[in-house]
Each structure stands twice: as C-alpha cells, then as structure tokens.
Amino acid sequence: MNKLALSDEILLQIDKPARYIGNEVNMIRKNLSEVDVRFCMCFPDVYEIGMSHLGIQILYDMFNKMDGVYCERVYSPWHDLDKIMRDKKIPLFALETQSPVKDFDFLGITIQYEMCYTNILQILDLSNIPLIAQDRTMEDPIVIGGGPCTYNPEPIADFFDIFYIGEGETVYKDLIECYRKNRDNGGSRTDFLRSAAKIPGLYVPMFYKPSYNTDGTLASFEPIYDDIPKNITKEIVMDVSNTFYPEKPLVPFIRATQDRVVLEIQRGCIRGCRFCQAGMIYRPVRERNVDYLKSMAKKMLKSTGHEEISLSSLSSSDYSKLDELLMFLIEEKGNGVNVSLPSLRVDAFSLDVMSKVQDIRKSSLTFAPEAGSQRLRNVINKGLTEESILNGCSLAFKGGWNKVKLYFMLGLPTETREDMEGIALLSEKIAECYYEIPKDKRNGKVSITASSSFFIPKPFTPFQWAAMCTKTEFLNRAKVVNGKFKEMLNKKSMKYNWHEADVSVIEGLLARGDRKVAKVVLNAYQNGCIYDAWGDSFDYGKWLKAIDDAGINLDFYTTRERDLDELFPWDFINVGVTKSFLKKEWQKAHNEEVTPNCRIKCQGCGAAVFGGGVCFENKN
C-alpha cells in the first residue's frame, strides 16, 4: 500500500478529513502483486452522498469477487481540499491504497444526476487525465460512465471512452477479459475500444457520428464502422435473487446521507407516471425472493453494526411479499433494529406497520400527489385520487401523526392557474381532515409542508416531447401557489416552499441535450463551476456565460416542444419501452386519459421483450 496521499498537516486544514483516509469497516484489501486489472469506482459528489449509493456498493462487491481485479473508490474532493490539491499539485487518489487515479486501468463513474456533470470534469482534471476522450493515450485509464444519466449520454459524450447502458452486473466481466486480451496482444487503445463497442450494452461515443438539419435538430446518428452496432440495447438482470449483492457493505466513519443498511426489494415500477424516467427505463418489474431478502437483512445488519434498515424500491407498496417481509423486520425490531419505509402508499396496512416501527410523535408522513387537481393528476397518470389522498391522511391523523409532507411539481404539460392553486386547496383540505378529529384526541397542532419542484422533461418518458418553462415562468407559477396559500384559513398550519428555478433550467438543458452541449459543460467547468447540485455552489451566471460562449440557443433545448417525428439524441438506445408506446401515452396525457398500471392490464409497452415476451410479473 502507498503512503497516505495527504499529510497530517493537510488533513488538519480541511473539513471532515475522514472523507479521504479510507480504512472503513468492510473495506476490501488486496495484494497488488496478485492483481492484473485495477478498477477505480467513482461517485462524482462528496463522500457522504457517494457512500450512500447502493449501486456503488453492489459493483464494489462484484468487482472484488473477480479474480485478479481490485476495485477501489474515489469521490469528489470538497472545495477546501480541491484548492489545496491544485495549489500543491497533489493528484487525485483512491481511498483503498491512496494510489493516483491515473495509475488505474479503468475509471468507472456513476452518473446519477445531470448537475454533477462538472464534477466529472473535476475528477478527470485532478487525476491528470485529459478531459476529452480522444486526447487520451495508453497511459490513461479507460473512462466508463454508468447510471441513469447514460440513457442520454450525448451532452457528456466527449469526456467518456465508454458508456455502460443498463444494469452493471452483466457484462463487466466480458469487458475486463477483452481488456486483458488486447493488452496481452499488444493492442492499442483504439483496438480495445473497437472490440469493447461490440459487447452488448456498451456504447463507445467516438465511433458514432451525429449530423444535423438546418434547423438544428438531429438528422442522423450512425456508427462510423460497419461492424459497430447501430443501436445499443440496455443490459438488464432478470433474476435479481441470483445476482451480486453485498453481504458486507462498506460502513463510513462519518455520518452518510443514508446511514443504514439498504435492502433493495425489487427493480422497476408498475405505475407508469408519465413524467418519471426511472419508471420507464427500469422496466420490467423484477422482485427479489422474500427468503433471500430475509437472509440478506440478517447478514448485512450483523456485518455492519447498523441499527436501521431501509427498503429500497421505486414503489415499495407494490412488492407482492411486503406484508411477510415487514412482519419479519418488525420481529427484528425487538433486537434493536429500526425500519425505514420509503415509497409506501399510505393505507391502513402501511400505517399499522409504521406505527410499530416509527416514533409517531417525531416522524412525518410523505405524500407525493405531484399535482393539485385531479385533472392534472390524470394528465400525468399519477394514479392517485383526491379521495385516496384525503383518506390516507385521515387514517394517519387518527393513528397519531400530525406532520405531513406533500410533494408537487409545477410547470407540467397542460397546467392551468386552477391546477396551480389546487396545490394550496388540497393542502387546506388535508389540514381540515386533522381538525375533524375531536380536540382531545389530536396529537398537538397539525403541520403541513408542501414543496414544489419544477417539471423537467426527461428522455424515455411520454413527456420527452414537452416544452419546459423558463426561469421566470417557473417563479411566476410558484408565486401563484404561494399567494393562494396566504388566502387559506389554516395558513398558520401550512408551509410552502419551492425548488431553485435556475438550477431546473440548466438541468433541463443537460437532460435533453445533444453532443453540442458538451461544449457548454466544458465551458462551465472552466468558468469555475463544480458542485452545481449544491445550492451554495451553483452559479447561474457562469452557466449562462458557458451557454453563450458555446453558441448554444438555450430555448432550443428547453422551451421548445418537440415534433412527434423528431429524431432524438438518445433514440439509438433501446430500453425496451418503445417510442410508439411513449407517443400513445403523450397523446393520452393531452386527452386526460388514465392508463391502468401493469398489474391491472398489460399495455404492451415493449419491456416484456426482456422476459422472453412475458413480463416477469405475469409469469407466476
């Protein structure tokens, strides 16, 4: 192992030095003399965020089970250490061995959020790796991107050698064997990348060329070689009870965002919300076996010393064995284990369970109506009626809860002033539910906190054709809602806040951008932008300058409604869900027509192709 990359003197100058020293509980150590491939796994955000990410934990465990492979980790240095490393010319290093990232064979970067794009360039820059992929040589690691943002990789295509499209458990072994073979045969970097481009699920941007129409829209997107696939199909694990999952997850020395054992109970979602990218790209639904989950829960709690376990899923209430699993975990609570239950529908069963695992007086319940009116909830296919929302809140209040958080979106397609004001009206109705309870049976005062994010159209959703609001339009809509809240009788019991509109605009640009947008990202980084996901660090002015210097028309990427026949920068990726299905859902949204969820009726979205023509949910 190398000597610690940071001296005690430097560690004493920075906030939370434990972010950079490694040696956490369950950290894997290997003898470098017995390793022939080194993989550095990166989360381009601060340590506490990255250590909370389940995908990194899964891949870290998977890679380190491979013979001859050692996987280490790196996270974005916070502002204080970033400055010191630049001033003192200290190269970015991995936590396990403190080795420079540049010395690794692979640098794998998980990309969860568009506003982390400049942090990717920070990682490359501090590692002394050329920012542009085509400038790299055999002396540089192969830079791979994975995660949900790779479903439109084009705005960052210039910076990556390879994108892994889909779930990471399937073809990484093939990629590493391809690397070994190329190395043993004395092949070049280009030779390796050309071989890698033929592995399913892998996209090598330098081998594809976009061309454009005179109006700026994409005219074609083609591989430059005949033996490179024209389309990339996402990789997916169908049997999620027989794949990699860490029995001994890493435990940080400092408090992470998710400071608990995370148990992923299923992948995918049956709901079909038209704004939700995850609900489309992770189809079909695949459940983990309940006995497998029970076993993993015990092993992970024992190996980590954590006293809390969280169930991870896009919609936990839709897991078919939830009752059995929760009863098992409630029994474990007798051994000092707390249970966190995100993504639950609030019904009688869920409330009964939550009353057993949570301190009602301290905890709040979360609802995500997303829209204030039933009309707009039908447009977005939320699958929630006002009656079900009010009934759930009423049950919760009678059960002892008095704190409710409500999440909405502003700027949704077809939104009217009535829909906006409906956010305040629905919040008022929920407060009234509480005051219908006799005073002697209430648990103090009610607290309703309503929050609005701003709608951002995402690829592979029915709303990928939608126009997005400008910053001014977003803020005006928030003012309408806020004004209505001030008129409410129960305004003292209610609080309203909203997301930053300028951040949403930039996220919208990056979400649906093409390869020309890479210049904007590079300009923004060179202007000093990093940690754009953090409000205190985001600088809208620097981003606007980056856009202007790149010659990009912001409105072209954000406020323009797309034509149904337009070729999108991400259309070369096959996620199973077909473009024709998404078009039908877009049209149904305008007709305010609800689509039943997958369990009620198969809608033929296309994802069944991964299950041999039948969705996993319908096999039993």
Q: Are 142 and 106 in contact (CB under 8 A)?
A: yes
User: Using omega within 30 degrees of 0 as the cis cutoff, is the peptide bond preceding 284 cis?
Assistant: yes
Q: Are 37 and 264 in contact (CB under 8 A)?
A: no
CA distance 316 to 503: 29
Which pLDDT score is estimated for 361? 64
Q: pLDDT tens, 485-499? A: 999 988 889 999 999
Q: pLDDT tens, 563-590? A: 999 999 999 999 999 999 999 999 999 9
Coil vs helix vs strand at 449: strand
Two tokens, residue 93 = 């290093």
Average pLDDT over every residue of 273-291:
97
Superfamily (CATH) of domain 8-233: Cobalamin-binding domain (3.40.50.280)
Q: Which residues pair with 108 in a beta bridge?
A: 41, 144
611 pLDDT tier (thresholds 50, 70, 90): confident
Q: From the centroid of its chain, how far is CA 226?
A: 34
Q: Give the percent of the chain with pLDDT over 90.
A: 84
Q: 31 pLDDT exceeds 80?
A: yes
Q: pLDDT tens, 400-450? A: 889 999 999 999 999 999 999 999 999 999 999 999 999 998 888 999 999
CA–CA distance from 74 to each of 82, 104, 122, 377, 568 (Å)? Answer: 13, 12, 12, 41, 33
CA–CA distance from 300 to each of 8, 308, 321 (Å)? Answer: 33, 11, 20
CA distance 102 to 94: 10
Two tokens, residue 598 = 């997958």
Which pLDDT score is estimated for 617? 46
Which pLDDT score is estimated for 362? 66
Q: Give the percent of the chain with pLDDT over 70.
A: 97
Average pLDDT over every residue of 283-306:
95
* The one-letter amino acid at 527: N
Range in 225-229, 390-394, 450-454 with the lowest mean pLDDT: 390-394
Which pLDDT score is estimated for 1? 42
pLDDT, averaged across the chain: 94
Task: Pick 97 or 5 by higher pLDDT.
Answer: 97
Q: Are 314 and 293 in contact (CB under 8 A)?
A: no
To which H or E segment does residue 521 belong? helix 518-526
118 pLDDT tier (thresholds 50, 70, 90): very high
Q: 290 pLDDT exceeds 80?
A: yes
Tell me the backbone φ, ψ of residue 558, rounded to 5 degrees.
-115, -60
Q: pLDDT tens, 324-378? A: 998 898 887 666 678 877 777 777 667 777 777 777 666 788 889 999 999 999 9
Residue for token pair 């080795």: 99
Average pLDDT over every residue of 234-260:
92
Which pLDDT score is estimated for 407? 95
Give Cβ neighbours of residue 561 (< 8 Å, ≥ 6 apart).
465, 466, 467
Average pLDDT over every residue of 72-97:
97
Coil vs helix vs strand at 476: helix
Q: 284 pLDDT exceeds 80?
A: yes
Q: Are 463 and 274 in contact (CB under 8 A)?
A: yes
Highest mean pLDDT among 59-68, 258-267, 298-307, 607-616: 59-68
- Helix 189-196 to helix 172-184 angle, to the nearest 10 degrees? 150
Nearest by Cα to 22 from 3, 9, 38, 36: 3
Which pLDDT score is estimated for 355? 76
Q: 619 pLDDT exceeds 60?
A: no
Average pLDDT over every residue of 314-323:
90
Q: 618 pLDDT exceeds 60?
A: no
Q: Cα angle vertex 368, ends 367, 372, to 5°?
A: 110
DSSP 349-368: HHHHHHHHHS-TTT--EEEE
Range in 112-121, 481-490, 611-620 with the lowest mean pLDDT: 611-620
Which pLDDT score is estimated for 330? 83
Nearest by Cα to 339 from 364, 313, 309, 362: 309
User: Using omega within 30 degrees of 0 as the cis cutoff, is the peptide bond preceding 130 cis?
Assistant: no
Which pLDDT score is estimated for 613? 77
